[in-house]
Chain A
Amino acid sequence: MKSSMTVSFRLNGELVTFSTDPDEKLLALLRREGYRGTKYGCGQGTCGACTVLLAGRAVYACLLYTQQAEGRDVRTIESVGTLDEPSEFQKELIEGGAVQCGYCIPGMVMSATALMESEVCYDDEVVREYMDGNLCRCTGYEKIWVALRTVLDRRETASAKGPDPAAHPDRQTVKADTSMDALE
Chain B
Amino acid sequence: MKLREFIRPTSMSAARDHLRELGPRGMALAGGTALHFMRATVPYTAVDITRLGLSYIRPEHDFFVIGATTPLADIQRYRAPRWAMHEVCRRIATHQIRNISTIGGNICRVFPWADLPVVLLALNARVVVYSGKEAEVAADDFFASQPANRFRGGDLLSAVKVPFLRDHHGFGSVKTGRTVAAFSLVTVATVLELVDEVIKGARVAVGSAIPFPRRLLEVEAALTGREATTAVFREAVAKAGAAVHWRGREGMSPEYSRHLTEVSLLDALERAATFARERVAR
Contact = CB atoms under 8 A, between A and B. Distances in A.
A166 interface: no
A16 B72 CA distance: 29
Given A58-B95, A59-B96, A133-B96, A67 B6 contact: yes
Interface of A: 1-3, 5, 22-23, 44-46, 48, 51, 54, 57-60, 63-65, 67-68, 70, 111, 114, 129-133, 172, 174, 176, 178, 180, 182-184
A131 B95 contact: yes
Interface residues of B, number: 40
Contacts of A45: 33, 36, 94, 96-97
Contacts of A68: 32, 48, 50, 100
Contacts of B166: none
A182 B86 contact: yes
B4 A2 contact: yes
Contacts of A57: 73, 99-100
B245 interface: no
Contact of A22 (B4, B95, B279): B4
A63 B2 contact: no
A5 B3 CA distance: 13
A129 B95 contact: yes
A20 to B, nearest CB: 9
B84 interface: yes
Contacts of A132: 94-95, 180-181
B43 A1 contact: yes
Contacts of A182: 79, 86-87
Given A67-B48, A132-B181, A182-B79, A3 B5 contact: yes
Name the 10 nearest CB pairs between A and B, nearest first.
A133-B94, A57-B99, A133-B96, A22-B6, A67-B6, A22-B3, A23-B3, A1-B4, A60-B96, A133-B95
